[in-house]
Structure 1
């Protein structure tokens, strides 16, 4: 999946109601490549998520290659939304990206439960922390 943040915003704004948007987000999650079982380790679990979320980050060429997975279908979809913002970006691009404006444009957090919103923030924080280490 190679979607830009603006394409994600445009795609989600196409739907009239949030039930349709949720279905679309779930479909996005189904399109993510599955994470190989060997990468689903405790050290790759993102702390602060209600569901299990695994994050593998490679930065071999100065560009972050993220592999993500979750045991919850809606969370896999939310991971696809995050991937549109951060995958195939440099550390500087990740740190400079205004994720709050992106989420606001998607009107996303207002439609998530507090625990899902906290989990989404934990995923973002983990990716930003990895970028800050570069």
Structure 2
């Protein structure tokens, strides 16, 4: 499992800098859509009901792999905007320890990027549902790490 080259806060800082260069919401949404185009294809084996994120306007699948308490996420959507949103979240969260994921204030980060305001209410709810699913996986990994014997 590959560790991210930067901390979650550094990654957020890079995203903020990118977003600040964009002049309006249309450009920001286009940027998010472009992020989604960079997602690796999600294998059919991961396109299962258990990986669907409820509460999204579009179909969104989010799968995770655990290595100790570190999580790597894979995702896809049938909507360009939702796919971009989940790609943005993966850039923040994937490859990180559960404790780092759980300590990160996603709401403040997304508000700083201005994403919820740029989206319809239904898409903003979907974005929050994606964050919720990522946090659920992190809580499960964190609980497993707490319950495992010390080496």
TM-score class, shorter? over 0.9
Q: Is the 8 A contact 1:65 1:88 kept in 2?
A: yes
Within the candidate set 82, 97, 100, 2:107 is matched to 100
Q: Is the 8 A contact 1:8 1:84 kept in 2?
A: no
After TM superposition, give the deviation of residue 56 of structure 1 in Å. Answer: 0.6
Quick check: which has more Rg, 1 or 2? 2
* TM-score normalised over the length of structure 2: 0.83
The count of corresponding residues between Structure 1 and Structure 2 is 133
Taking the aligned partners of 2:112 and 2:129, their CA distance within structure 1 comes to 19
Q: Is the 8 A contact 1:44 1:56 kept in 2?
A: yes
Q: Is the 8 A contact 1:46 1:53 kept in 2?
A: yes
Q: Is the 8 A contact 2:36 2:83 kept in 1?
A: yes
Partner in structure 2 of residue 78 of structure 1: 85
Structure 1: runs of 5 or more not aligned: none
* TM-score normalised over the length of structure 1: 0.94
Structure 2: runs of 5 or more not aligned: 142-151
Taking the aligned partners of 1:29 and 1:84, their CA distance within structure 2 comes to 11
1:25 equivalent to 2:32? Answer yes
Partner in structure 2 of residue 67 of structure 1: 74
SS in 2 for 1:46: coil
Within the candidate set 16, 22, 35, 1:9 is matched to 16
SS in 1 for 2:67: coil
Within the candidate set 34, 41, 51, 2:48 is matched to 41
